[in-house]
């Protein structure tokens, strides 16, 4: 467990954060620019020294009263927005920089493992100037991992990358999460990144903790801002049932039902997650026939919420232990009609699933 209590005043900005965070998986600090995400991360790293701050990582107290463990004595890695590689060193030597300065008894990760994990084998003899943005960030991540941190802090590592570079590095971050047991605190204001990577979510607003909890629970919570945007979505945990289901499709199992998606590169039995935009979910009272939509999932209506658009409503659906959102017109809700407790079928395009 990561226990923290920070109160920080910087001009007109005030950070007030008291949290208990899990030390498994990825915890995302999410919020708009200026909400305090990076400030909180700097407090965790020891880059901000706060009087009367408190920080305990598992059984180790890093800060309490006047007691303060400086950054270089905390077993953590920090990945910044910019890769900041040493330009005069090759990729290989950049990776080894932290490894060679880590005591042999403390080395938990080794160059061959990290190089494979991040797909850097073909780049080891390149210079930083020869790399794309995504490649540079992978090297920076690898350099941090080779210090064998017990906690990894990532400050908007994809913010400076273009769309192509982001798409390149996200699968490596997913692989990192799956294969390593290092807890990660991940700062981002991009919902797409958060839904791909995070297990636990902390929502910050003007320096205050607005909410925290499991990602799926907060994304579909009617009192949080996620459901009130055009990007309102839900995340479903799934397992690959059939990696090649024909015609370039992959078959997933979600709560005992089949979901066909157009994503490639998955292996049978692999756990994955999918993001569904509420506007891409269509509701029916019975399974349709002769329709191009590939997916028909049996669900039950939890409740129906208002929407910023007065012509629309947001329907929360239960599918097993998971929650799905559908944005439908107010007219459709009245015409069917739809109400809490009703069995419905969620119709989803295979190509609409992220």
Buried b (16+ CB within 10 A) or exposed e, 150-186: bbbbbbbbbeebeeebbebbbebbeebbeebebbbbb
DSSP secondary structure, 228-293, as one string: GSTT-EEEEEEEEEES--STT-EEEEETTEEEEE---S--TT-EEEEEEEGGGEEEESS--SS-S-
Residue partners of 97: CB distance under 8 A and separation at least 6: 86, 89, 143
Least confident piece of the model among 84-88, 318-322, 350-354: 350-354
Average pLDDT, the chain: 92
* Cβ 206 vs Cβ 212: under 8 Å: no
C-alpha to C-alpha distance for 299 and 285, rounded to whole angstroms: 10
Instruction: Summarize the confidence of residues 171-179 as an average pLDDT.
Output: 87
- Pair (203, 348) in one structural domain: no
- Specify the length of the chain in residues: 354
Residue at which a domain ends, from 219, 254, 279: 219
pLDDT tens-digit profile of 79-130? 988 888 999 999 999 999 989 988 899 999 999 999 999 999 999 999 999 9
Torsion of CA 277, 30, 167, 183, to 10 degrees: -120
User: Are both 264 and 199 inside the same structural domain?
Assistant: no
pLDDT digits 0-9 by tens, 263-308: 877 889 988 999 999 999 999 999 998 888 889 999 999 999 999 9
- pLDDT at residue 159 is higher than 80: yes
Judge if 240 and 182 occupy the same domain. no
Tell me, yes or no, whether 287 and 200 share the same domain.
no
What residues make up the domain containing 24?
A: 2-219
Pairing status of strand 26-30 against strand 184-188: parallel
> Are 206 and 253 contained in the same domain?
no
Does residue 154 fall inside a structural domain? yes
d(CA 263, CA 260): 9
Identify the pLDDT of residue 246: 87
Whether 224 maps to a domain, the answer reads no
Burial class for 1, CB neighbours closer than 10 Å (0-12, 13-18, 19+): exposed
CATH of the domain at 52: 3.40.50.300
Alpha helices (H) in 63-205, listed in sequence order: 91-99, 111-117, 133-145, 163-179, 191-197
Average pLDDT over residues 307-333: 96
What is the number of domains present in the chain?
A: 2
Q: CATH number of the domain at 300, please.
A: 2.40.50.100
**Judgement on whether residues 203 and 275 belong to the same structural domain of the protein:** no
Give the tens place of pLDDT for each residue, 238-247. 999 999 888 8
Residue 347 lies in a domain: yes
The reported pLDDT for the residue numbered 168 is: 85
Let me know if residue 12 belongs to a domain: yes
- β-bridge mates for residue 67, sequence order: 64
The pLDDT tens digits of the residues spanning 202-251 come to 999 999 999 999 999 999 998 898 998 888 999 999 999 999 888 889 99
130 plus 11 within the same structural domain: yes
Strand partners of residue 105: none
pLDDT band at 44 (very low <50, low <70, confident <90, very high): very high
Backbone conformation region of residue 126, classed left if phi is above 0, alpha if psi is from -120 to 50, else beta: beta
**Does 84 share its domain with 194?**
yes
Percent of the residues in the chain that have a pLDDT greater than 90, as a whole number:
72
Same domain, 257 and 170: no
pTM: predicted TM-score of the whole model, two decimal places: 0.90
Q: How confident is the model at residue 83, as a pLDDT?
A: 84
C-alpha to C-alpha distance for 212 and 21, rounded to whole angstroms: 9
- CA 255 to each of CA 120, 219, 241: distance values in angstroms, whole numbers, following the listed order: 36, 19, 12
CA angle 51, 54, 56 (to 5 degrees): 150
In a domain, 227, yes or no: no
Regarding whether 185 and 237 lie in a shared domain, the answer is no
Q: Which of 159, 185, 219 is the last residue of a domain?
A: 219
pLDDT band at 153 (very low <50, low <70, confident <90, very high): very high
Average pLDDT over residues 22-38: 93
240 in the same domain as 161? no
In a domain, 226, yes or no: no
pLDDT for 314: 96
Give the model's pLDDT for residue 228.
87
- pLDDT for res 303: 96
Give the residue-averaged pLDDT of 61-76.
93
Helix intervals (H) in 19-74:
37-45
Are both 109 and 160 inside the same structural domain? yes
């Amino acid at each position: 467990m990561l226990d923290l209590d920070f109160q920080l005043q910087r001009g007109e900005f005030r950070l007030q954060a008291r949290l208990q965070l899990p030390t498994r998986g990825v915890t995302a600090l999410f919020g708009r620019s200026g909400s305090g995400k990076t400030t909180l991360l700097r407090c965790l790293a020891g880059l901000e020294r706060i009087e009367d701050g408190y920080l305990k990582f598992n059984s180790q107290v890093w800060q309490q009263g006047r007691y303060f463990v400086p950054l270089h004595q905390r077993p953590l890695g920090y990945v910044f927005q910019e890769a900041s590689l040493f330009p005069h060193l090759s990729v290989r030597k950049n990776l080894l920089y932290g490894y060679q300065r880590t005591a042999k008894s403390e080395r938990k990760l080794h160059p061959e493992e990290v190089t494979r994990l991040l797909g850097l084998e073909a780049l080891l003899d390149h210079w930083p100037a020869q790399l794309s943005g995504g490649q540079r960030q992978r090297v920076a991540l690898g350099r941090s991992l080779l210090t064998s941190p017990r906690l990894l802090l990532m400050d908007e590592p994809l913010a400076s990358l273009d769309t192509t570079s982001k798409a390149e590095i996200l699968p490596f971050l997913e692989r990192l999460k799956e294969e390593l047991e290092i807890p990660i605190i991940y700062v981002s204001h991009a919902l797409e990144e958060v839904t791909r990577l995070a297990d636990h979510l902390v929502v910050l607003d003007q320096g205050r903790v607005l909410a925290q909890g499991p990602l799926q629970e907060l994304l579909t919570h009617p009192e949080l801002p996620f459901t009130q945007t055009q990007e309102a979505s839900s995340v479903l945990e799934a397992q690959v049932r059939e990696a090649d289901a024909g015609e370039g499709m992959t078959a997933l199992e979600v709560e005992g039902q089949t979901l066909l998606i157009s994503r490639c590169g998955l292996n049978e039995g692999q756990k994955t997650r999918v993001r569904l935009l509420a506007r891409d979910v269509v509701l029916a009272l019975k399974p349709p026939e002769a329709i191009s939509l590939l997916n028909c999932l049996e669900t039950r209506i939890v409740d129906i919420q208002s929407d910023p658009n007065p012509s629309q409503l947001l329907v929360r659906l239960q599918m097993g232990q998971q929650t799905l959102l559908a944005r439908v017109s107010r007219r459709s809700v009245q015409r069917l009609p739809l109400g809490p407790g009703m069995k419905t079928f969620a119709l989803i395009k295979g190509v609409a699933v992220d």
